[in-house]
Amino acid sequence: MAIIKVQRPKLSAGEKIYFGSIFKGMIITLRHAFRSLVGKSVGAKELNSSGVGITMQYPEQKWDEELPEYYRGTPALVTDELDRERCVSCQLCEFICPPKAIKITPGEIPSSDEWAKVEKRPQAFDIDMIRCIYCGMCEEVCPEQAIYLRPDYVVTGTTRKEMVHDKDRLYEIGGKRVGLVNKWNDLK
Residues that bind another protein (CB under 8 A): 19, 22, 25-26, 28-30, 32-33, 36-37, 41, 44, 50, 52-55, 57
In whole angstroms, how close is the CB of 51 to another protein at the nearest point? Answer: 9
Comparison of 44 and 87: residue with beta carbon closer to another protein: 44
In whole angstroms, how close is the CB of 35 to another protein at the nearest point? Answer: 9
Phi and psi at 27, nearest 5°, equal: -65, -40
Give the CA distances from residue 17 to residues 8, 11, 20, 21, 147, in Å, rounded to whole numbers and listed in that order: 17, 10, 7, 9, 67
Q: Which of 130, 122, 124 is nearest to 162 (CA)?
A: 130
Comparison of 7 and 185: residue with beta carbon closer to another protein: 7
- Contact at 8 Å (CB) between 115 and 84? yes
In whole angstroms, how close is the CB of 127 to another protein at the nearest point? Answer: 30
Comparison of 34 and 115: residue with beta carbon closer to another protein: 34
Comparison of 50 and 91: residue with beta carbon closer to another protein: 50
